[in-house]
Amino acid sequence: TGATNVAVGYYSLASTTTTNDNTAVGAYALNANTATGNTAVGSDALRANTSGNYNTALGQNTLKVNTTGIHCVAVGTNSLAANTTAESNTAVGSYSNDECTTGADNTSVGRSTLGTNQTGARNLAVGTYALFDVVSSSDNTALGYKAAWNHTSGQVTAVGSKCLETATTANYTVGVGYNCLNYLTTGDNNTAVGFQAMERTTTGHSCTAMGSYALYNCSTAINNSAFGRSALGGAAVTGN
């Protein structure tokens, strides 16, 4: 009794009997589907979907094991491939958020963005490899190539190519600018705005740098504030 369904490909929409408004193009696309309003284009796209409604999957293996997750969008080979029950995830780019299982409300644009995320939620990653190593951390924002690439705990904001690239547990840190806080590993509560601001900081924390090269050589310093181009950026800083 289902209506307005389209199926093109081997075993596409094979299980649909009474639901409506589904489109499946490709071998096994929407193979197990019993839900409504799904679009799957590509082999194995939304293959395991049962009751998840209003999902869009474009590309091979996109949303392949999704069962009940709803309102998800996956564009690019293997994007959201491991998503099962999570809702409202958007992934654009090959292997974007491809290991996510139950983390919801994530947006990732670019190849391998949120690449190892599994349960983290409400993350925004734009740019190749942005927030790649996030596994369970939530509420992070990374915009730029390899922005917050190694980050594993929350919450950080990284805007700029390679900004916060090597940071792992830099909680409550904000970086805006190319290469700013690029060498940071475990320093918390830092704010750096400007080209290469605080670039050499490794474990320093609770610092504020505003301006190109501000606190550039700050390594393990704490509670420093620098405003202006190259402010406190010359010699290595290790004190308070």
In whole angstroms, give the CA distance from residue 131 to residue 153: 10
Q: Which of 115, 189, 128, 127 is nearest to 155 (CA)?
A: 189
Show the beta-strand stretches assigned E in 79-168. Answer: 90-92, 107-109, 124-126, 141-143, 156-159
Q: How far apart are CA 122 and CA 116, in angstroms?
A: 15
Q: Which residue reads 């409300």 in tokens? A: 105
Q: How far apart are CA 183 and CA 52, in angstroms?
A: 42
pLDDT computed for residue 226 by the predictor: 94
pLDDT digits (tens, 9 = 90+) for 37-48: 999 999 999 999
Kindly list the averaged pLDDT for each block of 10 residues, start to end, along the chain of length 240. Answer: 92 92 97 96 97 97 98 98 97 98 97 96 98 94 97 91 92 95 91 95 92 91 91 63
pLDDT of residue 12: 95
Give me the numbers of helices (H) and strands (E) for the chain, helices first please.
Answer: 0, 14
Q: Are 33 and 50 in contact (CB under 8 A)?
A: yes
Q: How many residues does the chain have?
A: 240
Residue 186 has a pLDDT of 87
Cα-flanking dihedrals φ and ψ of residue 81, to 5°? -65, -30
Per-residue pLDDT of 53-112, as tens digits, reads 999 999 999 999 999 999 999 999 999 999 999 999 999 999 999 999 999 999 999 999
For residue 149, give both structure tokens: 């690439």
Please give the Cα distance from 192 to 154 (Å, whole number): 17
